[in-house]
Amino acid sequence: MKKLLLLSLTTATLLATDKTSVIFMIGDGMGPTYTSTYRYYKDDNSTQKMDATVFDSLFIGMNTTYSDNSLITDSAAAATALATGYKTNNGFIGIMDQNTTQKQTVLEYAKENGYLTAMAVTSTLTHATPAAFLSNGHHRDDEAEIAKDYLSLTKSGKLKFDFLMGGGEKYFLEAFSDFNARAKKESLTLYRNDYDFTNIKNYPFIAFTAYDYPAFALDENKENRFRVAKMTNKALSLLDNKDFFLMIESSQIDWCGHLNDIACTMAEMEDFSRSVTLAKAYVDKHPNTLLIVTADHSTGGLAIGDKIDKKDDTISDEIKSRSYIWYKESIQHIDSSSISIAKDLNTSKDINVTFKKQTGITLKNHEYKKLKSTIALNKIKVLWHEVNVIINRHSNTGWTTHGHNAVDVETFAYGKDSEKFKGFMDNTDIAKKIFEVLGRKSKK
């Protein structure tokens, strides 16, 4: 009898700790050249050795990104694949085919199976990537409709999430005639303290970091520059030792890529790298946790390096002997996004001085003339494009598009069950394997 009791106690203890928590981190637009560019950007030039990044230490495979109706996916279709295991058409959140019975996302599955669930993003909370984890059957542009889904309840009458951190309160205000009252009804606390989370002790809550879109890392004040890392830190402290599914998106890597703004891109990569490092450290302390990191697609067709101009007298013979170069020094002093630089140039009394102050780059005469004539056009988008053209030329950074492209993206994994993600796979397999890790039996 005693022996039997001991056995059942052991089983109970095992059951209580049996779940695997999942930290799923998505670098929006973070194609393979983003992680290699970041490695070279960060490397200490004074040493012979090439320094490895956290991404290098976690690399495990590659995955495809194509959507149901295009080789080149958008964020909505890609996030649907990553969140549900199903491909959909570009623009759509969730499975649009009404005959498909499987519409659950990994987050929803986790909630129904006793996990705490949370998301932290640097877009609006209802933007394509987070939307695919908490809503279904919408076009990505219908952010207010998506917000309504967020407050829909599970079969047991609970919210599907324990907490959310990100921008875009405006869509919740659009969705609900009295959002505060609705939140109160669900015992949901709303915070609007930017990235100051010190008062947050309990959940459920939504912490709005911006009314609309949060700012770029480069345009944030110094204390909020690593805001994905700040959110990761807070989220993991709230979930510490619990069973949870946490999705974190570094949303703006993609936005900097769309702009073809390399300094902006590297600042977002720095923030994301710090966040992944925090998550990795959490897994070291909590071995029953899986960390999975990937991108939804690559943006901009980023490439680095070009031939060295051998006729340029200002370049030393030593450098010329290298044949090809990426001048990372040209972007290391840039302290604002190209959008902010363009705004400053628009009101500047001395274009040369303003450009030098913001970027560290001395304009060549023809660049000065081009900027001057562009400012005269009074079209801010044309101006920020021209700012990027100059910076990209000085650094030998190349871009093929202002949109997305079709290259495969990397898979990074660490901790419990990470070997499941090894090798080459489709993006839908990532969701399928996360379902498995969360306890769903795979269908034969």
Q: Rule CB under 5 A: which of 14-33 touch Zn ion?
A: 28
List phi, psi (to 5°) of 205. -155, 160
Least distance to Zn ion, CB of residue 297, Å? 5
Structure tokens at 101: 């019975």
* Alpha carbon distance 240, 250 (integer Å): 21
Element (H, E) at 318: helix 317-320
Least distance to Zn ion, CB of residue 129, Å? 6
**Smaller CB separation from Zn ion, 80 or 232:** 80
261 is a site residue for Zn ion (CB under 5 A):
no
Among 249, 296, 367, 429, the residue binding Zn ion under the rule CB under 5 A is: 296
Q: Rule CB under 5 A: which of 182-201 touch Zn ion?
A: none
* Alpha carbon distance 63, 295 (integer Å): 9
The single-letter DSSP state of residue 156 is T
Least distance to Zn ion, CB of residue 257, Å? 9
Pairing state between β 409-415 and 324-325:
unpaired
Number of shown-chain residues binding Zn ion (CB under 5 A) = 4
**Smaller CB separation from Zn ion, 169 or 254:** 254
State the chain's maximal CA–CA distance in angstroms: 91
Least distance to Zn ion, CB of residue 14, Å? 40
**Smaller CB separation from Zn ion, 294 or 338:** 294
Of all residues in this chain, which one has the CB nearest to Zn ion in the complex? 75
* Alpha carbon distance 80, 68 (integer Å): 11
* Alpha carbon distance 405, 51 (integer Å): 28
Q: Which amino acid is at 354?
A: T
Whether the CB-CB separation of 271 and 229 falls below 8 Å is answered with: yes
**Smaller CB separation from Zn ion, 28 or 145:** 28
Q: Rule CB under 5 A: which of 241-260 touch Zn ion?
A: 254
Whether the CB-CB separation of 218 and 263 falls below 8 Å is answered with: yes
Least distance to Zn ion, CB of residue 254, Å? 5
**Smaller CB separation from Zn ion, 26 or 218:** 26
Q: Which residues participate in catalysis according to the annotation? A: 75
* Alpha carbon distance 421, 262 (integer Å): 30
**Smaller CB separation from Zn ion, 28 or 261:** 28
Q: Nearest 5 degrees, angle CA 276-CA 281-CA 282?
A: 95
Q: Rule CB under 5 A: which of 72-111 touch Zn ion?
A: 75
Q: What's the Rg (C-alpha) of the chain?
A: 23
- DSSP 3-state assignment of 350? coil
* Alpha carbon distance 323, 293 (integer Å): 35
Spell out, one character per residue from 47 to 76, where the chain touches Zn ion: x when CB under 5 A holds, - when not. Answer: ----------------------------x-
Least distance to Zn ion, CB of residue 365, Å? 39
Q: Which of 231, 326, 236 is nearest to 271 (CA)?
A: 231
Chain residues that interact with Zn ion, rule: CB under 5 A = 28, 75, 254, 296
